[in-house]
Structure 1
Amino acid sequence: MTKIVPLTPERADAVEALLDAAFGPDRRRRTAYAVRGGVVAIPALGFAGVDADGTLIGSIQCWPVLFTGDAGERVAMVMVGPVAVMPGHQQGGLGRRLTETALAAADTAGLGEAMMLIGDPEYYERFFGFTADRTARWRLPGPVEPRRLLARGTAVPDGAGVLGPA
Protein backbone atom coordinates (compact mmCIF):
# COMPACT_ATOMS: atom_id res chain seq x y z
CA MET A 1 0.00 0.00 0.00
CA THR A 2 1.31 3.42 -0.94
CA LYS A 3 1.53 5.93 1.91
CA ILE A 4 1.56 9.73 1.63
CA VAL A 5 4.18 11.28 3.90
CA PRO A 6 5.72 14.75 4.22
CA LEU A 7 8.50 15.35 1.72
CA THR A 8 11.78 15.73 3.59
CA PRO A 9 15.10 17.21 2.40
CA GLU A 10 16.69 13.75 2.58
CA ARG A 11 14.57 12.75 -0.43
CA ALA A 12 15.79 15.61 -2.66
CA ASP A 13 17.94 13.41 -4.91
CA ALA A 14 15.18 10.80 -5.22
CA VAL A 15 12.68 13.55 -6.17
CA GLU A 16 15.02 14.81 -8.90
CA ALA A 17 15.39 11.28 -10.28
CA LEU A 18 11.59 10.82 -10.14
CA LEU A 19 11.01 14.10 -12.00
CA ASP A 20 13.51 13.08 -14.68
CA ALA A 21 11.76 9.71 -15.06
CA ALA A 22 8.29 11.26 -15.20
CA PHE A 23 8.99 14.35 -17.34
CA GLY A 24 12.33 13.75 -19.03
CA PRO A 25 15.68 15.45 -18.60
CA ASP A 26 14.56 18.55 -20.53
CA ARG A 27 11.93 19.35 -17.89
CA ARG A 28 13.94 22.32 -16.57
CA ARG A 29 13.29 24.16 -19.85
CA ARG A 30 9.55 24.30 -19.18
CA THR A 31 7.86 27.59 -18.41
CA ALA A 32 6.89 26.39 -14.92
CA TYR A 33 10.57 26.38 -13.93
CA ALA A 34 10.96 29.99 -15.09
CA VAL A 35 7.82 31.06 -13.21
CA ARG A 36 9.14 29.79 -9.89
CA GLY A 37 12.73 30.79 -10.59
CA GLY A 38 15.24 29.74 -7.99
CA VAL A 39 12.92 29.95 -4.99
CA VAL A 40 12.70 27.15 -2.45
CA ALA A 41 9.57 24.99 -2.37
CA ILE A 42 7.15 25.53 0.52
CA PRO A 43 8.15 22.73 2.92
CA ALA A 44 4.69 22.28 4.48
CA LEU A 45 3.16 21.66 1.04
CA GLY A 46 5.56 18.97 -0.19
CA PHE A 47 4.52 15.33 -0.02
CA ALA A 48 5.89 11.97 -1.11
CA GLY A 49 4.17 8.77 -2.13
CA VAL A 50 6.19 5.84 -0.86
CA ASP A 51 5.64 2.13 -1.38
CA ALA A 52 5.76 -0.52 1.35
CA ASP A 53 9.57 -0.58 1.45
CA GLY A 54 9.85 3.23 1.62
CA THR A 55 10.83 3.77 -2.03
CA LEU A 56 9.71 7.11 -3.44
CA ILE A 57 7.21 6.55 -6.24
CA GLY A 58 5.46 9.92 -6.31
CA SER A 59 5.85 13.51 -5.17
CA ILE A 60 4.26 16.92 -5.20
CA GLN A 61 5.79 20.28 -4.37
CA CYS A 62 4.36 23.79 -4.20
CA TRP A 63 6.18 27.08 -4.68
CA PRO A 64 5.74 30.70 -3.68
CA VAL A 65 5.12 32.87 -6.75
CA LEU A 66 4.08 36.46 -7.20
CA PHE A 67 1.57 38.08 -9.51
CA THR A 68 2.49 41.69 -10.25
CA GLY A 69 -0.40 43.48 -11.90
CA ASP A 70 0.05 46.16 -14.51
CA ALA A 71 -1.59 48.60 -12.08
CA GLY A 72 1.03 47.75 -9.44
CA GLU A 73 -0.90 45.32 -7.26
CA ARG A 74 1.04 42.37 -5.93
CA VAL A 75 -0.60 39.07 -5.04
CA ALA A 76 1.35 36.28 -3.35
CA MET A 77 0.29 32.95 -4.82
CA VAL A 78 1.12 29.27 -4.51
CA MET A 79 2.17 27.40 -7.63
CA VAL A 80 1.08 23.76 -7.39
CA GLY A 81 3.31 21.14 -8.92
CA PRO A 82 4.96 19.35 -10.31
CA VAL A 83 3.05 16.28 -9.28
CA ALA A 84 4.95 13.25 -10.50
CA VAL A 85 4.42 9.53 -10.32
CA MET A 86 7.00 6.98 -11.35
CA PRO A 87 6.19 5.30 -14.67
CA GLY A 88 4.76 1.91 -13.86
CA HIS A 89 2.79 3.35 -10.93
CA GLN A 90 0.77 5.87 -12.93
CA GLN A 91 -2.99 5.66 -13.44
CA GLY A 92 -3.52 4.27 -9.93
CA GLY A 93 -4.71 7.48 -8.28
CA LEU A 94 -1.49 8.42 -6.52
CA GLY A 95 -1.17 11.76 -8.31
CA ARG A 96 -4.70 12.65 -7.29
CA ARG A 97 -4.05 11.65 -3.66
CA LEU A 98 -0.87 13.72 -3.59
CA THR A 99 -2.69 16.75 -5.03
CA GLU A 100 -5.57 16.39 -2.55
CA THR A 101 -3.07 16.21 0.31
CA ALA A 102 -1.16 19.31 -0.83
CA LEU A 103 -4.34 21.35 -1.38
CA ALA A 104 -5.71 20.37 2.03
CA ALA A 105 -2.41 21.36 3.65
CA ALA A 106 -2.50 24.71 1.82
CA ASP A 107 -6.02 25.36 3.07
CA THR A 108 -5.04 24.43 6.64
CA ALA A 109 -2.01 26.76 6.45
CA GLY A 110 -4.10 29.63 5.08
CA LEU A 111 -2.35 29.46 1.71
CA GLY A 112 -5.25 28.20 -0.40
CA GLU A 113 -6.81 31.53 -1.40
CA ALA A 114 -4.58 32.14 -4.43
CA MET A 115 -3.23 29.03 -6.11
CA MET A 116 -2.20 28.38 -9.70
CA LEU A 117 -0.74 25.68 -11.89
CA ILE A 118 -0.05 24.77 -15.48
CA GLY A 119 -1.93 21.61 -16.38
CA ASP A 120 -4.78 19.83 -18.08
CA PRO A 121 -7.99 21.80 -17.45
CA GLU A 122 -10.19 18.74 -17.94
CA TYR A 123 -8.50 17.05 -14.97
CA TYR A 124 -7.69 19.94 -12.64
CA GLU A 125 -11.08 21.63 -13.00
CA ARG A 126 -13.07 18.44 -12.57
CA PHE A 127 -11.28 17.20 -9.46
CA PHE A 128 -9.85 20.33 -7.85
CA GLY A 129 -11.73 23.41 -9.10
CA PHE A 130 -8.86 25.04 -11.04
CA THR A 131 -10.02 27.10 -14.05
CA ALA A 132 -8.66 29.56 -16.60
CA ASP A 133 -11.48 32.01 -15.82
CA ARG A 134 -9.17 34.69 -14.38
CA THR A 135 -5.83 33.96 -16.03
CA ALA A 136 -6.37 35.12 -19.63
CA ARG A 137 -4.37 38.34 -19.23
CA TRP A 138 -1.51 36.92 -17.21
CA ARG A 139 1.97 36.93 -18.75
CA LEU A 140 4.57 34.30 -17.94
CA PRO A 141 8.33 34.16 -18.60
CA GLY A 142 7.87 31.57 -21.32
CA PRO A 143 5.26 30.01 -23.56
CA VAL A 144 2.09 28.49 -22.16
CA GLU A 145 -1.19 27.40 -23.71
CA PRO A 146 -3.72 29.84 -22.22
CA ARG A 147 -6.24 27.07 -21.54
CA ARG A 148 -3.62 25.28 -19.38
CA LEU A 149 -2.89 28.29 -17.13
CA LEU A 150 -5.25 27.58 -14.25
CA ALA A 151 -6.04 29.09 -10.86
CA ARG A 152 -8.36 28.69 -7.90
CA GLY A 153 -9.16 30.65 -4.76
CA THR A 154 -10.94 33.81 -3.75
CA ALA A 155 -7.81 35.98 -3.95
CA VAL A 156 -6.79 35.00 -7.50
CA PRO A 157 -6.25 38.20 -9.48
CA ASP A 158 -8.39 38.83 -12.55
CA GLY A 159 -6.31 41.32 -14.47
CA ALA A 160 -3.28 41.86 -16.62
CA GLY A 161 0.09 41.25 -15.07
CA VAL A 162 3.20 39.13 -14.81
CA LEU A 163 3.63 35.92 -12.87
CA GLY A 164 7.09 35.13 -11.53
CA PRO A 165 9.10 33.97 -8.55
CA ALA A 166 8.25 35.39 -5.13
Structure 2
Amino acid sequence: MTIIPLSDVPAPAVESLLDRAFGADRHGRTAYRLRAGTVPIAALSFAILDGADLAGTIQCWPVELSGDDGAAVPMILVGPVAVEPAIQRGGIGRQLMAHMLAAADASDIAGARALMLIGDPEYYGRFFGFTAEATAAWRLPGRFEPRRLLARGDGVPHHSGAVRARV
Protein backbone atom coordinates (compact mmCIF):
# COMPACT_ATOMS: atom_id res chain seq x y z
CA MET A 1 0.00 0.00 0.00
CA THR A 2 1.21 3.47 -0.91
CA ILE A 3 -0.23 6.77 0.34
CA ILE A 4 -0.17 9.61 -2.17
CA PRO A 5 -1.70 13.10 -2.40
CA LEU A 6 -5.35 12.89 -3.39
CA SER A 7 -4.63 15.49 -6.06
CA ASP A 8 -2.61 12.81 -7.91
CA VAL A 9 -5.77 10.73 -8.45
CA PRO A 10 -8.22 11.57 -11.24
CA ALA A 11 -11.41 13.09 -9.79
CA PRO A 12 -13.70 10.57 -11.57
CA ALA A 13 -11.87 7.69 -9.85
CA VAL A 14 -12.39 9.33 -6.45
CA GLU A 15 -16.07 9.96 -7.16
CA SER A 16 -16.55 6.37 -8.30
CA LEU A 17 -14.97 5.04 -5.10
CA LEU A 18 -17.16 7.34 -2.99
CA ASP A 19 -20.26 6.04 -4.82
CA ARG A 20 -19.24 2.44 -4.15
CA ALA A 21 -18.40 3.12 -0.50
CA PHE A 22 -21.36 5.37 0.42
CA GLY A 23 -23.93 5.08 -2.36
CA ALA A 24 -24.89 7.43 -5.14
CA ASP A 25 -27.32 9.25 -2.78
CA ARG A 26 -24.46 10.42 -0.55
CA HIS A 27 -24.70 14.04 -1.76
CA GLY A 28 -27.77 14.68 0.40
CA ARG A 29 -25.91 14.07 3.66
CA THR A 30 -25.27 16.90 6.10
CA ALA A 31 -21.50 16.70 5.65
CA TYR A 32 -21.91 17.44 1.94
CA ARG A 33 -24.09 20.45 2.72
CA LEU A 34 -21.55 21.62 5.29
CA ARG A 35 -18.66 21.76 2.83
CA ALA A 36 -20.62 23.09 -0.15
CA GLY A 37 -18.69 25.72 -2.09
CA THR A 38 -15.26 24.64 -0.81
CA VAL A 39 -12.50 22.46 -2.18
CA PRO A 40 -10.58 19.81 -0.23
CA ILE A 41 -7.46 20.95 1.59
CA ALA A 42 -4.77 19.42 -0.64
CA ALA A 43 -2.14 19.10 2.11
CA LEU A 44 -4.53 16.98 4.24
CA SER A 45 -6.30 14.91 1.56
CA PHE A 46 -4.80 11.58 0.56
CA ALA A 47 -5.36 8.38 -1.39
CA ILE A 48 -4.00 4.93 -0.72
CA LEU A 49 -3.10 2.65 -3.60
CA ASP A 50 -2.90 -1.13 -3.64
CA GLY A 51 -0.46 -1.49 -6.49
CA ALA A 52 -2.07 0.67 -9.18
CA ASP A 53 -5.60 0.30 -7.76
CA LEU A 54 -7.29 2.98 -5.70
CA ALA A 55 -8.02 1.38 -2.32
CA GLY A 56 -9.14 4.37 -0.27
CA THR A 57 -9.28 8.13 0.14
CA ILE A 58 -9.55 10.75 2.86
CA GLN A 59 -10.55 14.35 2.31
CA CYS A 60 -10.43 17.36 4.62
CA TRP A 61 -12.37 20.59 4.18
CA PRO A 62 -12.15 24.16 5.54
CA VAL A 63 -15.04 24.98 7.89
CA GLU A 64 -15.56 27.30 10.84
CA LEU A 65 -17.66 27.60 13.93
CA SER A 66 -19.52 30.88 13.66
CA GLY A 67 -20.02 31.44 17.36
CA ASP A 68 -23.16 32.89 18.87
CA ASP A 69 -20.76 35.35 20.53
CA GLY A 70 -19.72 36.65 17.07
CA ALA A 71 -16.32 34.91 16.96
CA ALA A 72 -15.46 32.69 14.01
CA VAL A 73 -13.10 29.79 14.76
CA PRO A 74 -11.45 28.03 11.80
CA MET A 75 -11.73 24.25 11.87
CA ILE A 76 -11.20 21.35 9.50
CA LEU A 77 -13.92 18.88 8.60
CA VAL A 78 -12.44 15.39 8.23
CA GLY A 79 -14.10 13.05 5.79
CA PRO A 80 -15.22 11.24 3.96
CA VAL A 81 -12.87 8.38 4.64
CA ALA A 82 -13.70 5.93 1.87
CA VAL A 83 -12.38 2.40 1.38
CA GLU A 84 -13.11 0.06 -1.50
CA PRO A 85 -15.98 -2.09 -0.14
CA ALA A 86 -14.33 -5.43 -0.99
CA ILE A 87 -11.35 -4.60 1.25
CA GLN A 88 -13.00 -2.72 4.11
CA ARG A 89 -12.07 -3.68 7.66
CA GLY A 90 -8.46 -4.26 6.63
CA GLY A 91 -6.99 -1.19 8.31
CA ILE A 92 -6.88 1.05 5.23
CA GLY A 93 -9.12 3.72 6.75
CA ARG A 94 -7.02 3.67 9.91
CA GLN A 95 -3.83 4.17 7.85
CA LEU A 96 -5.37 7.12 6.03
CA MET A 97 -6.56 8.73 9.27
CA ALA A 98 -3.18 8.28 10.96
CA HIS A 99 -1.40 9.76 7.95
CA MET A 100 -3.76 12.74 7.80
CA LEU A 101 -3.49 13.36 11.56
CA ALA A 102 0.30 13.37 11.36
CA ALA A 103 0.13 15.85 8.46
CA ALA A 104 -2.32 18.07 10.40
CA ASP A 105 -0.11 17.98 13.51
CA ALA A 106 2.88 19.08 11.44
CA SER A 107 1.04 21.82 9.56
CA ASP A 108 0.23 25.45 10.19
CA ILE A 109 -3.00 25.29 8.17
CA ALA A 110 -5.81 27.32 9.73
CA GLY A 111 -8.00 24.96 11.72
CA ALA A 112 -5.47 22.14 11.96
CA ARG A 113 -5.74 22.22 15.76
CA ALA A 114 -9.55 21.95 15.58
CA LEU A 115 -10.56 18.88 13.62
CA MET A 116 -14.18 17.77 13.45
CA LEU A 117 -16.13 14.99 11.81
CA ILE A 118 -19.46 13.22 11.77
CA GLY A 119 -18.79 9.58 12.54
CA ASP A 120 -18.86 6.61 14.86
CA PRO A 121 -17.69 7.75 18.31
CA GLU A 122 -16.64 4.23 19.30
CA TYR A 123 -14.24 4.04 16.35
CA TYR A 124 -12.99 7.62 16.08
CA GLY A 125 -12.78 8.02 19.84
CA ARG A 126 -10.98 4.75 20.49
CA PHE A 127 -8.39 5.04 17.75
CA PHE A 128 -8.01 8.78 17.20
CA GLY A 129 -9.17 10.69 20.28
CA PHE A 130 -12.26 12.36 18.80
CA THR A 131 -15.03 13.14 21.31
CA ALA A 132 -18.37 14.95 21.51
CA GLU A 133 -17.33 16.87 24.64
CA ALA A 134 -17.21 20.28 22.92
CA THR A 135 -19.85 19.83 20.25
CA ALA A 136 -23.17 19.72 22.15
CA ALA A 137 -24.07 23.33 21.33
CA TRP A 138 -22.93 23.26 17.69
CA ARG A 139 -25.49 23.51 14.89
CA LEU A 140 -25.09 22.03 11.40
CA PRO A 141 -26.97 22.69 8.15
CA GLY A 142 -28.98 19.48 8.25
CA ARG A 143 -29.85 16.50 10.36
CA PHE A 144 -27.23 14.63 12.38
CA GLU A 145 -27.00 12.53 15.51
CA PRO A 146 -25.41 14.73 18.21
CA ARG A 147 -23.39 11.80 19.61
CA ARG A 148 -21.74 11.44 16.17
CA LEU A 149 -20.59 15.09 15.97
CA LEU A 150 -17.00 14.72 17.14
CA ALA A 151 -13.96 16.96 17.50
CA ARG A 152 -10.29 16.70 18.39
CA GLY A 153 -7.52 19.19 19.13
CA ASP A 154 -6.51 21.96 21.47
CA GLY A 155 -8.10 24.58 19.19
CA VAL A 156 -11.60 23.06 19.31
CA PRO A 157 -14.08 25.73 20.43
CA HIS A 158 -16.22 24.89 23.45
CA HIS A 159 -19.05 27.33 22.79
CA SER A 160 -22.30 27.44 20.85
CA GLY A 161 -22.54 28.36 17.20
CA ALA A 162 -23.17 27.20 13.67
CA VAL A 163 -20.63 25.17 11.74
CA ARG A 164 -20.40 26.34 8.13
CA ALA A 165 -18.11 26.21 5.13
CA ARG A 166 -15.06 28.48 5.30
CA VAL A 167 -14.66 29.90 1.81
* Contact 2:60 2:79 (8 Å CA) reproduced: yes
Identical positions, percent: 58
**Number of corresponding residues:** 164
Written as runs of structure 1 = structure 2, the 5 A alignment for 1:2-151 is 2-8=1-7, 10-52=9-51, 54-111=52-109, 112-151=112-151
Deviations for 1:93-132, whole angstroms, at most 9, x for unmatched residues?
A: 0000001111111111134311100000000011111000
**1:154 corresponds to:** 154
Moved over 2 A (4+): none
Question: TM-score of the superposition, structure 1-length normalised?
Answer: 0.96
Question: Secondary structure, in 3 states, of the residue corresponding to 1:72?
Answer: coil
Quote the offset at 1:7 in angstroms: 1.2
* Contact 2:9 2:47 (8 Å CA) reproduced: no
Amino acid at match of 2:104: A
Question: Secondary structure, in 3 states, of the residue corresponding to 2:130?
Answer: coil
Q: Which blocks of at least 5 consecutive residues in structure 2 are unaligned? A: none
- The 2-side partners of 1:156 and 1:37 are apart by 21
- The 2-side partners of 1:101 and 1:11 are apart by 20
Q: Which blocks of at least 5 consecutive residues in structure 1 are unaligned? A: none
- The 2-side partners of 1:63 and 1:20 are apart by 19
- The 2-side partners of 1:9 and 1:161 are apart by 36
Deviations for 1:121-160, whole angstroms, at most 9, x for unmatched residues?
A: 0000111110000000000000010000000111111111
* Contact 2:130 2:150 (8 Å CA) reproduced: yes
Question: Secondary structure, in 3 states, of the residue corresponding to 1:88?
Answer: helix
Amino acid at match of 1:138: W
Amino acid at match of 1:106: A
Quote the offset at 1:9 in angstroms: 5.1
Question: Secondary structure, in 3 states, of the residue corresponding to 2:87?
Answer: coil
Mean alpha-carbon deviation: is it higher for 66-75 or for 108-117? 108-117
Amino acid at match of 2:69: A
RMSD: 1.0
Question: TM-score of the superposition, structure 2-length normalised?
Answer: 0.95
Question: Secondary structure, in 3 states, of the residue corresponding to 1:8?
Answer: helix
Question: Secondary structure, in 3 states, of the residue corresponding to 2:135?
Answer: coil
